[in-house]
Amino acid sequence: MQYIYRFEAMSTPCEVQLFSDSKAKADMVASKILKEAKRLELKYNYFNSSSFLSKINSRVEKGLDLETETLIKRAIKYWQKTDEVFDITVATIKDIYKSSKSLDELEQKQKELLAYIGCEHISIKKRKIYFDNPYTKIDLGGFVKEYAVDRAVLIAKKGGIKSALINFGGDIFALGKRVDGTKFKIGIKDPNQPTKIAKFAEIEDEALTTSASYERYEVIENKKFSHIIAKKRSSRYKSATVISSSCVESGVYSTALMIDDNIKTSNKLIVFV
């Protein structure tokens, strides 16, 4: 039987499809997935001043638990693997897109803060995080949602679920196959006509994420700025879909490719220019 559960976490709609011969088992697994998603949301919410991440950014807290240390170190490794394109420290300029009232003000604030972007400004020693300046901030938002999907898959496996589709705001993992033996079929929007599906991808025990520049943005003096923030952007892509073995991996590269289309990866790609 198919059991579908819907909730909201990390500012995005989430859907968990579990295929099980027991509703009680499916309900238990779904409850654990929801609890885990809410835990991660509370812990790493960039905009919540009481979150653990905000305490790190405000320099109130420097001690790291094992999970946070592992996540930050993993993000730094991806920063290195993507030639410094995927960068959790772009949070340093994240707030200025909301606070700036004019393009001149935005440009001035960028000039003041750009030098403080880069994971070279972070160091971790003996499970403590250090910044070499008071301005650098980190945002795990483009990392934790995908991590939450991967965690949900682990919970499903431990709960005895062999077939499931986890979808947190378009960050997707297909566990196994559908009960009819076919792979899960995922529609990918046409960025030029977002109401239409341009392609389909069939996945099994794989993650699929899509990054795009057309859905979320800030507007300053009638100029649109994508929610994908970077020091500089040279990508031609309007959307990039990456299929890999983990949602974190797919999320990192779909984001990075929207910034620089020269990024190299052995993962499967579907891109639109």
Q: Is the pTM of this model over 0.75?
A: yes
Q: Is residue 81 part of a domain?
A: yes
Read off φ and ψ for residue 131, nearest 5 degrees: -110, 145
| Mean of pLDDT values over 238-255 | 97
* Residues 6 or more apart in contact with residue 49 via CB below 8 angstroms: 58
150 found inside a domain: no
Closest CA to 229 of 219, 217, 246: 217
pLDDT of residue 80: 97
The token pair at 195 is 């109401």
Express each pLDDT in 220-235 by its tens digit: 555 555 555 566 666 8
With respect to residue 176, please indicate whether it lies within any of the assigned structural domains.
yes
Q: Tell me: do 247 and 166 sit in the same domain.
A: yes
Asked if residue 146 is part of any domain, the answer here is no
pLDDT at 174 over 80: yes
- Is the pLDDT reported for residue 236 higher than 60? yes
Look up the CATH number of the domain holding residue 64. Answer: 1.10.3980.10
SS3 104: helix
Q: How far apart are CA 10 and CA 97, in angstroms?
A: 20
Expressed as residue numbers, the domain containing 62 is 52-139
Reported as a pLDDT band with limits 50, 70 and 90, residue 109 is confident
Per-residue confidence band for 102, with pLDDT thresholds at 50, 70 and 90: confident
Length of the chain: 273
What pLDDT is stored for residue 231 in this prediction? 60
- Assess whether 23 and 62 both reside in one domain: no
What's the pLDDT band for 94 if we cut at 50, 70, 90?
A: confident
pLDDT for 99 beyond 90: no
Report yes or no on 269 lying in a domain.
yes
What is the reported pLDDT for 224?
52
Q: Count of domains in the chain?
A: 2
Pair 169, 267 in one domain: yes
Residue 221 pLDDT: 54
Same domain, 170 and 38: yes
Domain identity same for 85 and 174: no
More confident residue, 243 or 218: 243
Are 165 and 32 found together in one domain? yes
Give yes or no: residues 124 and 79 share one domain.
yes
pLDDT band at 216; cut points 50, 70, 90? low
Beta carbons within 8 Å of 110's beta carbon, 6+ residues apart: 93, 96
What value does the mean pLDDT take over residues 120-143?
95
Residue 69 amino acid letter: E
Do residues 62 and 96 both lie within one domain?
yes
pLDDT of 113 reads 92
Q: Is the dihedral of CA 256, 260, 261, 262 positive or negative?
A: negative
Task: Please report whether residue 153 resides in a domain.
Answer: no
Q: How far is CA 109 from CA 60, 126, 205, 221, in A?
A: 24, 34, 44, 16
97 occurs within a structural domain: yes
Q: What is the pLDDT of residues 32-44, one digit of tens each?
A: 999 999 999 999 9
Regarding whether 168 and 62 lie in a shared domain, the answer is no
What pLDDT does 122 receive? Answer: 97
Among 52, 29, 50, 31, smallest CA distance to 40 is for 52
Count the helices and strands in the chain (H runs, E runs): 7, 13
Q: How many CB atoms lie within 10 A of CB 218?
A: 15
For residue 244, is it within any domain? yes
